[in-house]
């Protein structure tokens, strides 16, 4: 029991700072060619998984985020690879749909992550407005729909502009949350 309480009170600033840095690096790499983005994305996703795992004992939301993140990643990557192996058959379509389901599961992992951060702010009394960090999830969800629709309509420049704005807003919101965590942990 004491072990669990120790995890709940554990400082989280370092792990959250690494997650923020990973998102900044991913944003910068998104301006380069596809191979670099793919390799960087895989490395950054692994780092994010490690950091979310480190936060899993802090709250139920973070533990759920970790479990769902692993499930979504396994489903997406596994079905994508199996789809490539089954290229040209009906199985490739089925695996592509399963990989899409994995991407949706990854959105659920983001939901648990950001809502877990909001619960953590309330529990620990961070000087951060209740509900603000949840906007990161809603922005990514709404932004994904807007970007997808505008790309289908042939307005790739608008989709890219929307993606940049949403990513910058998300990074700023997470940075503000980090500052509140840092201040609370320094005062403790």
What is the pTM for the complete model shown?
Answer: 0.87
Spatial separation of the C-alpha atoms in residues 141 and 110, rounded to whole Å: 10
Place of tokens 């389901």: 101
What is the chain's mean pLDDT, rounded? 88
Q: What is the pLDDT of residue 129?
A: 94
Write the pLDDT tens digit of every residue in 80-95.
Answer: 888 888 888 888 888 8
pLDDT of 127: 92
Domain boundary assignment for the chain: 2-187
Residue 33 token pair: 């060619």
Q: Mutual orientation of helices 34-55 and 13-29 as an angle, nearest 10°? A: 170
Predicted local distance difference test score (pLDDT) of residue 1: 37
Q: Where are the alpha helices (DSSP H) in the chain?
A: 2-8, 13-29, 34-55, 60-85, 90-124, 134-152, 156-187
Please check whether residue 92 is in contact with residue 83, taking contact to mean a CB–CB distance below 8 angstroms.
yes
């Amino acid at each position: 029991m004491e072990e669990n309480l120790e995890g709940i009170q554990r400082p989280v600033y370092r792990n959250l700072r690494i997650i923020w840095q990973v998102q900044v690096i991913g944003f910068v790499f998104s301006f380069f060619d596809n191979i670099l983005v793919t390799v960087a994305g895989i490395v950054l996703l692994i780092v994010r998984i490690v950091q979310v795992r480190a936060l899993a004992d802090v709250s139920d939301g973070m533990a759920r985020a970790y479990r769902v993140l692993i499930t979504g990643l396994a489903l997406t990557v596994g079905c994508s690879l199996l789809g490539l192996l089954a290229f040209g058959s009906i199985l490739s379509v089925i695996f592509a749909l399963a990989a899409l389901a994995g991407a949706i599961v990854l959105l659920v992992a983001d939901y648990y992550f950001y809502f877990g951060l909001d619960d953590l702010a309330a529990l620990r009394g961070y000087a951060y407005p209740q509900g603000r960090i949840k906007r990161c999830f809603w922005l990514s969800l709404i932004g994904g729909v807007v970007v997808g629709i505008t790309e289908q309509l042939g307005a790739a420049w608008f989709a890219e502009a929307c993606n940049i704005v949403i990513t910058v807003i998300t990074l700023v919101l997470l940075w503000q949350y980090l500052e509140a965590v840092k201040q609370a942990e320094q005062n403790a």
